[in-house]
Structure 1
Amino acid sequence: MSDDESCELLGFDHVLLPVGDLDEAVGFYGRAGFPVGFRLDEAGIARLVVGGETPGLLLRHEEGTGRRPPARHPVRTWLEVPDARVAAAALEDAGIGLLDGPFPCATGWTVEFADPWGNVVGLTDYTKRPQLGRRP
């Protein structure tokens, strides 16, 4: 990036996850504990709320996006939670299979799951280093 003000990074807008069926995706992420901030069916999008922040996960229906397992080296979206081990139990109780974890990481614990379209989401905590998290 240059010093040009037009290239200044101001923050995240959304993390976009392509999905093959918006209704199914909203239901899947609802079971995983993600509330819907807004839904625009005519545009094929729904924003999932992530904490008190304006950016969120944006589900976007894309034709031809079929069900698939996660890629061998997928892009991962990790979100902070108070306790990833509790989140893992809640995901399993909701019938959402875990890809990995909970496993220890540098800040605490992480658990990962994938949606039916192969998008990988991680839930991570800062239980080992609370001073680095949102709730020190």
Structure 2
Amino acid sequence: MRKAILLFIALAAAAAAVQAQPKPISPRAARDLLASDKTALLLDVRTREEFIDVRIPGAVLLPFDAIDAASAARVVGPKDRPVVVYCRTGRRSAVAASTLASLGYRNVYNLGGIGAWPYGTVRGE
């Protein structure tokens, strides 16, 4: 009986870890998600300078090296909120998306780099 309980706990933990993984998302699917779900957040994890230089309209800045439980709670909010993460090339967005997932955010999507976004960008503050 004790082994069965321990096995159940281990399987439940493994299932939770798998569910918490960020998912890749294409630019088109990201655009559609952001248009159809007004609670969805577009998160730019580059530096402030990069954000000011060029960004996807509607994006919110949270540099990847500043993501922790407190900043995520302040910027992202509820852990079930859909979050689309991007950076310049996809490396930082992958790290940031994994960090958010490890903090318990369940609907994290990795868009990758801004260069793949074909729908227009904005510049300046």
Where on the TM-score scale, by shorter chain, does this alignment land: which range?
under 0.3
Report which of the two has the higher share of strand. Answer: 1
Report which of the two has the higher share of helix. Answer: 2
| Higher relative contact order structure (alpha carbons within 8 Å, sequence separation ≥ 6) | 2
Give me the TM-score of the superposition, normalised by structure 1.
Answer: 0.25
Give me the TM-score of the superposition, normalised by structure 2.
Answer: 0.26
